[in-house]
Amino acid sequence: MNLNDIGGGLTPAQADGLACVACGADYLHIHVPHVPVGRSVTGSQVFACVGCALDARDERGKR
């Protein structure tokens, strides 16, 4: 997951910031803490669940 510009491959909800870009959790139906992680190609701010964002950070640290 690129933490600046999030490219294609997102669902409409993910691209609009309404769902996690990593696991797809729907923030309108599941109340889970989430953090901004970048912008979609449309310019919308996109988010990841806190756990998903930490997992992505840990994976980048292993490289």
Q: Give 21-35 pLDDT, tens digit per residue.
A: 999 999 999 999 999
- Contact call for residues 24 and 33 (beta carbons, < 8 A): no
Q: What does each C-alpha distance from 1 to 9, 15, 28 come to in angstroms? A: 11, 13, 22
pTM of the model: 0.78
Using alpha carbons, select from 26, 18, 9, 23 the residue that is nearest to residue 44.
Answer: 18
Q: Look-up: residue for tokens 């933490």?
A: 3
What are the structural domain ranges in the chain? 12-62
Higher pLDDT, 3 or 57: 57
